[in-house]
């Protein structure tokens, strides 16, 4: 009986262990590149046509490369969470207590045996992977190969079954991503990181096996993703405020609800006006062509436009906090005139503060995706997607939802060509004492829209990614008139070169069409369409389950990552069962393990690890109990205020 080759053995194994990879190998029968085989039939290099990948024995290449990498490994090291920099009460308390427990004993970085992830970008023949695992024990191994053919060739060199066994022996998971498109690879990696838990990121290793545009972009994308995921978490204080604001707005104001379902595309143009530094150079172009496009003004750009005598068609707001309310009040004081409103229509998240909505004329409200207020009180309405992280992204999402497919971006810099400039000059950041924002530091250099290098950070890169995603997903013809970061999919056009064909638009007709497409509500009537009592019942049932989870799981939680996995599974199950009521505390609950991970992953010894886990268990229980009590009071109050005639909510708490 003929013995199976390594390639055949691997294929049989992968059929069960990684069926997606096996399927890819089976369909890749006609490859341009070829494995270079030795006399035993094992691959020692890859012929790429114009040369070879290694130009030497692949095993020896891998050995030398791994040795060199170990001298200076690429790692993700998160910043120390300082209590004063944390807005969430739960993570703030946890950070303070763990810092007190740790004192000055923390290691500078997590040791190799505590690494959460090893991300290998560029598999090649894969012989580097077993060597990497000889001296580290990550909990998760992720292999990313842009070239499908290289994935196929690895079956001639790497014993995949032995690699899987090596990972299993070390308690590590093994995942493979085969994607040439860096954004697609980033999306799959994002899904894996969500599954692994946020605490797996700190101390993660990145290993780039060979360098091409694709592998460099994927490695850079991983580090960008780490930055984005650290700022995409919503916490209880935010969620509570959004619920309160939503109820206040719909009870107080007449409005039209904008549904997030895409309306039929049309040929009208939209101006998206952000408040980046380059807006100052775009004012005259906006003034000259404002009649030919619907002007969506985002956030603090309102002050710049009004100061220049330009009144936008719609002001866009999404944030729910007092800072936004203070900004709007400041702009109204400077530019509001003698009336009671700006004389501008508002398109805003239903969760903005009522002090914002009252200063505008017609109000067009919408639900944002994923928010607790949306999932609890958005029944019958689709949320608008792609609204974060900044109001300029919200403006783009709204214009797209309303059918605009020709879009011009002004002041949407996503950073700055001047590392010291963060906003247009006539904005609240320069004219109101004490009004600062936390995204001024821009250490990352990227290509600029007009050729000059630009500077950015994780927040602005997130914004750029959202612009890029919306442009591609909705097939938008986008023109970037901003002198900032280049946005893939948007054609650079200098403001002075702008020209829009055709006659000026009938703006009143546009507004009537938007009203006609929305659903109109008189003040105080919206909550009649929502099942408020049902949400209270769901909340009380979930709160009871949350307490049971803590009673059963917390006392025996000796390893943080195991607890985080259990917590994630529990919250995901409850989200499916109880819906949006899980969201208010979910962010704070999920946010505590990665904060704890910074300290626990740097424990000097087993005793220090045990002490800090004890602190984590105590603080987690105390903080979650506080949230459960506060949220119960909130939900009962809303239910009492909106009880339908004949309904009795007085016994719900006891029943729950």
- Asked whether 617 and 559 are in contact (CB, 8 A), the reply is no
In 3-state terms, what secondary structure has residue 51?
coil
290 has pLDDT over 60: yes
Band of pLDDT at residue 454, cut at 50, 70 and 90: very high
Which pTM was predicted? 0.82
For residue 370, what pLDDT is reported?
85
Say if residue 654's pLDDT is above 50.
no
Neighbours of 603 (CB within 10 A): 22
Average pLDDT over residues 383-397: 95
CATH of 6-72+111-229, one of 1.20.140, 3.40.50, 3.40.1350, 3.30.70: 3.40.50
For residue 273, is pLDDT > 50? yes
CA 527, chain centre distance (Å): 30
Mean pLDDT value of segment 610-615: 97
- Residue 484, token pair as written in the block: 């900032």
Average pLDDT value for residue range 303-326: 93
> What confidence category does residue 115 fall into, taking pLDDT thresholds of 50, 70 and 90?
confident
Residue with tokens 């992280």: 389
pLDDT > 70 in the chain, percent: 96
What is the structure's pLDDT at 203?
A: 85
**Closest-CA residue to 450 (of 425, 419, 487, 503):** 487
Given this model, what pLDDT does residue 409 score?
99
Element (H, E) at 240: helix 236-252
Q: What are 411-452's pLDDT values in tens digits?
A: 999 999 999 888 999 898 888 877 666 567 898 899 999 999
The CATH class given to the 237-521 domain equals: alpha beta
The secondary structure element, H or E, covering residue 317 is strand 314-317
Q: How confident is the model at residue 112 (pLDDT cuts 50, 70, 90)?
A: confident
Asked whether residue 526 carries a pLDDT value surpassing 70, the answer given is yes
Angstrom distance (rounded) from CA 18 to CA 193: 18
Q: How confident is the model over 570-589, as a mean pLDDT?
A: 96
Q: Tell me the two tokens of residue 357.
A: 């909505």
* Residue 645 pLDDT exceeds 50: no
pLDDT of residue 142: 97
Do 346 and 329 touch, CB atoms closer than 8 A? no
**What is each CA distance from 196 to 171, 557, 561, in whole angstroms?**
13, 17, 8
pLDDT for 230 equals 55
Q: What is the CA radius of gyration of the chain?
A: 27
Say which residues have a Cβ less than 8 Å from residue 8's Cβ, sequence separation at least 6. none
Same fold, 6-72+111-229 and 237-521: no
CA-nearest of 418, 393, 438 to 485 is 418
What pLDDT, on a 0 to 100 scale, did the predictor assign at position 644?
A: 66
Confidence of residue 227 (pLDDT cuts 50, 70, 90): low
- Looking at residue 226, its pLDDT comes to 74
CA–CA separation, 317 and 299 (whole Å): 6
Residue-range domain boundaries for the chain: 6-72+111-229, 237-521, 531-655
The whole-number pLDDT of residue 3 equals 81
Looking at residues 280-301, what average pLDDT do you find? 97
Given a cut of 70, whether residue 395 has pLDDT beyond it is yes
* Cβ atoms of 99 and 188 closer than 8 Å: no
Instruction: Over range 494-515, report the average pLDDT.
Output: 96
- Reading the block at residue 519, the tokens are 């659903």
pLDDT at residue 655 in the model = 43
What whole-number distance in Å separates Cα of residue 357 and Cα of residue 252?
10
Query: Does 163 score more than 90 pLDDT?
Result: yes
Cβ within 8 Å of residue 544, ≥6 positions away: 656
Q: What is the mean pLDDT of the chain?
A: 92
pLDDT interval class at 642 (50, 70, 90): very high
């Amino acid at each position: 009986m003929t013995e199976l080759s390594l390639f055949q053995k691997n294929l049989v194994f992968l059929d069960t262990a990684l069926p997606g990879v096996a399927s890819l190998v089976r369909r890749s029968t006609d490859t341009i590149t070829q494995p270079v085989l030795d006399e035993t039939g094992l691959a020692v290099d890859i012929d790429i046509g114009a040369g070879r990948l290694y130009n030497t024995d692949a095993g020896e290449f891998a050995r030398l490369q791994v040795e060199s990498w170990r001298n200076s490994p690429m790692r993700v090291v998160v910043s120390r969470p300082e209590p004063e920099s944390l807005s969430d009460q739960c993570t703030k308390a946890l950070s303070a207590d763990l810092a007190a427990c740790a004192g000055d004993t923390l290691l500078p970085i997590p040791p190799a045996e505590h690494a959460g992830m090893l991300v290998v970008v560029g598999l090649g023949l894969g012989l580097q992977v077993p060597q990497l695992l000889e001296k580290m024990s990550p909990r998760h191994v992720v292999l990313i190969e842009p070239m499908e053919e290289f994935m196929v060739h690895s079956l001639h060199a790497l014993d995949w079954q032995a690699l899987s066994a090596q990972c299993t022996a070390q308690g590590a998971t093994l995942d493979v991503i085969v994607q040439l498109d860096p954004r697609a690879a980033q999306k799959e990696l994002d899904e894996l990181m969500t599954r692994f838990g946020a605490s797996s990121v700190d101390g993660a290793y990145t290993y780039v096996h060979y360098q091409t545009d694709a592998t460099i972009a994927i490695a850079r994308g991983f580090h960008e993703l780490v930055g984005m995921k650290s700022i995409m978490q919503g916490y209880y204080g935010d969620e509570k405020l959004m619920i309160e604001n939503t109820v206040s707005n719909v009870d107080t104001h007449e409005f039209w609800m904008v549904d997030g379902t895409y309306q039929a595309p049309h040929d009208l143009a939209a101006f998206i006006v952000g408040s980046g530094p380059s807006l100052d150079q775009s004012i005259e172009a906006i003034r000259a062509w404002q009649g030919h496009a619907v002007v969506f003004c985002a956030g603090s750009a309102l002050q710049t436009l009004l100061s220049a005598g330009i009144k936008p068609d719609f002001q866009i707001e999404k944030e729910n906090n007092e800072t936004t309310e203070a900004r709007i009040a400041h702009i109204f004081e400077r530019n509001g005139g003698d009336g009671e409103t700006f004389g501008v229509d508002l398109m805003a998240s239903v969760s903005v503060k009522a002090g914002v909505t009252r200063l505008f004329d017609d109000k067009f409200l919408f639900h944002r995706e994923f928010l607790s207020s949306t999932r609890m009180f958005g029944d019958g309405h689709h949320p608008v997607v792609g609204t974060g992280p900044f109001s300029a992204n919200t403006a783009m999402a709204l214009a797209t939802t309303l059918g605009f497919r020709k879009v011009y971006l002004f002041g949407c810099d996503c950073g700055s060509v001047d590392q010291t400039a963060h906003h247009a000059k006539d904005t609240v950041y320069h004219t109101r004492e004490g009004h600062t924002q936390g995204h001024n530091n821009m250490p990352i250099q990227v290509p600029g829209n007009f050729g000059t290098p630009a500077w950015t950070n994780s927040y602005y890169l997130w914004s750029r990614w959202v612009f890029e995603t919306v442009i591609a997903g909705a097939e938008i013809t986008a023109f970037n008139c901003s002198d900032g970061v280049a946005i893939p999919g948007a054609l650079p056009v200098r403001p002075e070169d702008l020209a829009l064909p055709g006659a000026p638009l009938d703006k009143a007709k546009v507004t009537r069409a938007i009203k006609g497409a929305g659903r109109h509500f008189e003040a105080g009537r919206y909550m009649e369409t929502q099942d408020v009592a049902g949400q209270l019942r769901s909340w009380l049932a979930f709160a009871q389950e949350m307490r049971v989870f803590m009673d059963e799981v917390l006392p025996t939680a000796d390893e943080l990552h195991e607890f985080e996995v259990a917590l994630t599974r529990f919250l995901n199950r409850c989200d499916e069962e109880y819906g949006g009521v899980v969201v208010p505390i979910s962010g704070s609950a999920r946010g505590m393990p990665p904060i704890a991970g910074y300290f626990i992953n740097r424990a000097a010894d087993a005793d220090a690890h045990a002490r800090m886990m004890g602190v984590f268990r105590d603080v987690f229980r105390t903080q979650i109990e506080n949230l459960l009590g506060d949220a119960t009071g909130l939900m009962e109050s809303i239910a009492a205020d909106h009880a339908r005639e004949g309904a009795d909510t007085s016994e719900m708490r006891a029943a729950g």
